[in-house]
Amino acid sequence: MSPAPTPEAQRLARLLSDAGSAHGDIVRAAQDLMHSLGDPAEPAKVRSALSTVPIKSLFDLLGSSEPSTVEVTCDLIDKLLSPFDYTALVAQDMLGFLIEGYNHFSPFVRRLAIKQTDKFATDDSGIDILTSQNIYPLIVVTMSFQDTQTAEMAIDLIVKMYALPSGKRAFHDPNTVVMLKQLISTSDTVKFRGYELIAKLAGESAQSFDAIERLGLFNDLVNDCKSTDVLIRMNAFEVVAEVRSPQSPSNSSPNAFPQSIKGPKGFAFAQKSGILKEIINVLAAPNVQEDDLKDVTKVLLICSALKFIATFGSLDSERIQLLDDKYKIYSICHQYLHVEQTSVQSAAIYSMTHLITNPNILRLCLASQPNQHLDLTRATHTLPRLWREGLSGEPRITWLRGMSQAFECTEDNRDLADITFQLYEEMDGVPTTLQQLANLAKQPVDDQQVSVFAFLTAIASWRWGALEMLSSPAFMDYLFDRSTESSHSGKVWKYTLVQTILNTVELIDTNAPLDVVDKLTKYVKDGPFYVSRRPNVDLESG
């Protein structure tokens, strides 16, 4: 027995059958039907709607000159099709409409086609259908569509399919490679979209990295890294920094720096292609004059090159040593830590703090022969000196973010307590470092407040840090005063800090006063949003 038609579906069907129906009436009827289907759409309601308003009866609306009509129609079609997988689309002979969608001028229709095609990306059989029906090339071409959101959706779909063997075969096909190279040559916008796609695919696996390189898809990107056009060169540096090395472990920390061209594959590629040499040439002292730091485009290029260096923060010890011996990376970072141009200084801080998040790099500062790693040691100890001399604005926030990563106590760096404590002491804040940080956390600047709390929390993860906080009455008074934080994020971050101190106290023997431990425990038990309730006192009048 067929499901009874709904009033919403009947109304839309009547409007569609009347050539004189106003666009506004059709849009409202389509919206009413869409809302009646539920969220997500209920299969029974979808079947009822389709019995009255067949999908194919909606396709004529996609040629409307009214963008609102096209947009709402696409949303309705997408919802009506949402319960069905790709096998149902094939059974209903929808592939021809997918092809038409990829050739449509409207971004709404293109996105609808991509959303439906995404259903085919779940297994090899689905992708094989796309390739056999010549739909896969249309997805690649959509990467060049003028609407950025639509192009990005196409890129994401290609990346999703590439995770499966059929997706790799489709992309590695000579015709696809030729098509991609042609698209890259059409405009700078499309070119960098292509580079973005290549970077994502190269990081899928070690084999994928090799395949992308073997197909020559890195060639144009490498050439742009050597371009005389500063902006093209800068953008190319940034894209290359996004080429993830598949042999590198992922960093699950939510506040972690982007982990990019690191590990054997990425490092070898940067060296072999000459990109690393180009980066060093951009930053080398003889090549950078004082006037360069007044030229906006050159500043952007220098910043991009410095941030590229940060991507080597997770290399193994051998390559870390090579950086120091052959490329003088630490000396370069040290050189830019002192400049007055805030964007360049921030980029140098970003790069140097990211490098020392690697325990192996920070351990070199503890080497038995201090002169062996002089450039690294000097650059590392410059970081607390910058704080002591006074940082503000972007450089200060970048410093706090970076040092919070470098200072965080983990299973891999517990032997670094001495060097982290030494760097902390060298900050020498006024009146004390803890009070200075607390004062900054009180200021109503969201980025700064979050960065301060992240750094304090990293400090509290160490035994020396917890002891430092517990021994400061002024800091503990600030910590227990909930009135200092009015924002949601501020309350959550302070709670996280207190929780970290308590965890450190419980894990190790800190000889903390019991009353302080009790206060910490109560704070954590009460939660981040606790508000004390004072009893009302009625005053008697005479």
Q: Scan for tokens 């308590």, then name that residue.
A: 502
61: enclosing H helix or E strand: none
Please tell me the predicted confidence (pLDDT) of residue 251. 37
Q: How far apart are CA 424 and CA 433, in angstroms?
A: 8
Q: Is the peptide bond before 40 cis (omega within 30 degrees of 0)?
A: yes
133: enclosing H helix or E strand: none
Instruction: List, in sequence order, the alpha helices (H) in 143-217.
Output: 148-162, 165-172, 174-184, 188-202, 206-214
Provide the residue-wise pLDDT of the chain in tens; the chain has 542 residues: 556 778 999 999 999 998 888 889 999 999 999 999 999 999 999 999 999 999 988 998 998 888 999 999 999 999 999 999 999 999 989 999 999 999 999 999 999 999 999 999 999 999 999 999 999 999 999 999 999 999 999 999 999 999 999 999 999 999 999 999 999 999 999 999 999 999 889 878 888 888 999 999 999 999 999 898 988 998 888 888 776 544 443 333 333 333 344 455 677 788 888 888 899 888 986 667 677 788 888 899 999 999 888 887 777 777 777 777 888 888 889 999 989 899 999 999 999 999 999 888 888 887 645 566 788 889 999 999 999 999 999 999 999 999 999 999 888 888 899 999 999 999 999 999 999 999 999 988 888 999 999 999 999 999 999 999 999 999 999 999 999 988 899 999 999 999 999 999 887 765 677 788 889 999 999 999 988 765 544 444 43
pTM: 0.77
Please tell me the predicted confidence (pLDDT) of residue 76. 96
Please tell me the predicted confidence (pLDDT) of residue 262. 46
What is the phi-psi region of residue 216: left when phi exceeds 0, alpha when psi lies from -120 to 50, beta otherwise? Answer: left
The number of helix segments (H) and strand segments (E) in the chain equals 33, 0
Q: Residue 33 to residues 63, 116, 324: CA-CA distances in angstroms?
A: 20, 20, 65
Tokens of 294: 């007044």
- For 54, what's the count of Cα atoms within 13 Å in the CB-facing half-sphere? 6
Residue 414 near residue 366 (C-beta atoms within 8 A):
no
Please tell me the predicted confidence (pLDDT) of residue 109. 96
Residue 364 near residue 314 (C-beta atoms within 8 A):
no
Give the residue extent of every domain in the chain. 1-83, 313-428, 432-530
